[in-house]
Structure 1
Amino acid sequence: MTLKFKNILLNIVTIIVVTMFFSCNDSFNQVQKIGVSENEPIGIAENINLKHTDSGRVTANLLSPKMLDFTNRDFPYNEFPKGIVLNLFDEQNKKSIVVADYAIVYDKTDLLDLQGNVVITTADNRVLKTEQLYYDQKKEWLFTNKPVTFRTETDIINGNGFDSDSKFKTAEVLEVTGIISVED
């Protein structure tokens, strides 16, 4: 009788252990999320003044009143709900400026989405204006399919869409709707 009792007890313990083993599939991730609402950022930064340097030289300066950190999501991102001003400095320390009312940076794709009164003013005074502009940080490529106004040294070009490398060497207004020649 005691041998039968030991077998039953061993079977019960084995079933409990196996059940516990298969029920603990993602508990660590669930514990990390306790107390963090899915719709809330895990961090908020205010009055950002972030400088990026390369070999001791400032190459970029990001200014923003507020940043929301959503890097706890499956598709992590940082949001700038009150806009950004980004100063970019080339090798000769000439400054280009990017301004937008709203911005969002997606970590996994390195894509920057600028929205609302987007204006880029290059060091050589070319100006691009649009309501939305994407920047692929990996490819260093700017693009949009929204209406744009692009001012060069000689022309103001209106169109629907824009494609360019980050240095504006291959800047192209797509679906041109008008060109105005500018005289100095």
Structure 2
Amino acid sequence: MNQAKVLFFSLLLIACGKTEVREPIIYEGPLREMEDMEMFYSQNSTVKVKMKTPLVHEFKNDDKEFPEGLYLEFYDIAGNLESTLTADHAFYFKEENKWRGRGNVVVKNVIKHEQLNTEELFWTPADQKIFTDKFVTIREQGNVIYGEGMKANQDLSDFEIKHVTGVIEVNED
């Protein structure tokens, strides 16, 4: 029995003598998660942007991820709906005050009945511009314009497409 006790304590001392130091794990994931969010941005008591999303992840640096998509409505000075933007996935970069939509990104000008489709689009709220270097399709009253890269106002009221191709109706009256 004494040999068993000596062997047990010897193994216990050997096992206790080895300490393993591990580096702390730094969590990089979201700090908060919000579901079924609807938010309004207003200026001078007038709604400018309405945002709806099923899920938001908020990070330590105030960046936000919208992994299940995003829907935005843009309103004019009188509070009338001007345009909408939808994306399958979105991300807000706080430091740059810039948004990125990915997947099936669609911008519609509801007044002019124009529509932009692309796979990635950036929006800068400060100057109310949208842009991309990806392939775009713009449909406007009878015309379909294709291109690689574009810049536009957020309501598609004025746009510039790089590397343009497409079908444009011409009236010969």
TM-score (ref. length: structure 1)? 0.72
1:75-154 to 2 correspondences below 5 Å:
76-92=62-78, 93-123=80-110, 124-154=112-142
Q: Any idea what the Cα deviations from partners look like across 1:75-117, whole Å, max 9, x if unmatched? A: x410000000101111241341110000000000011101010
**Which is helix-richer, 1 or 2?**
1
1:61-80 to 2 correspondences below 5 Å:
61-70=50-59, 72-73=60-61, 76-80=62-66
Name the Cα RMSD after superposition: 2.1
- Alignment partner of 1:178 is 2:166: yes
1:41-80 to 2 correspondences below 5 Å:
41-70=30-59, 72-73=60-61, 76-80=62-66
Q: Any idea what the Cα deviations from partners look like across 1:22-59, whole Å, max 9, x if unmatched? A: xxxxxxxxxxxx9x952321100100000112222222
Judged with a 3 Å threshold, the aligned counterparts in structure 2 of structure 1 residues 115 and 141 are, in CA distance, closer, same or farther, namely same
Cα drift, residue 178 of structure 1: 2.0
Equivalenced residue count is: 146
Q: Residues of 2 paired with 1:45 and 1:94: CA distance?
A: 26
Percentage of pairs with the same residue: 27
The DSSP-based 3-state class of the residue aligned with 2:132 is strand
Report if the CA contact (8 A) 1:150-1:173 is conserved.
no
Question: Greater relative contact order: 1 or 2 (C-alpha under 8 angstroms, separation 6 or more)?
Answer: 2
The DSSP-based 3-state class of the residue aligned with 1:181 is coil
TM-score (ref. length: structure 2)? 0.76
Q: Residues of 1 paired with 2:65 and 2:159: CA distance?
A: 27
Q: Residues of 1 paired with 2:170 and 2:37: CA distance?
A: 38
Structure 2: which 5+ residue stretches go unaligned? 1-23
Q: Residues of 1 paired with 2:113 and 2:73: CA distance?
A: 14
Judged with a 3 Å threshold, the aligned counterparts in structure 2 of structure 1 residues 139 and 53 are, in CA distance, closer, same or farther, namely closer
Q: Residues of 2 paired with 1:139 and 1:59: CA distance?
A: 13
Report if the CA contact (8 A) 1:62-1:86 is conserved.
yes
Q: Any idea what the Cα deviations from partners look like across 1:125-151, whole Å, max 9, x if unmatched? A: 110000000112233221111111001
Q: Give the aligned residue type for 1:82.
A: E
Q: Residues of 2 paired with 1:137 and 1:95: CA distance?
A: 15
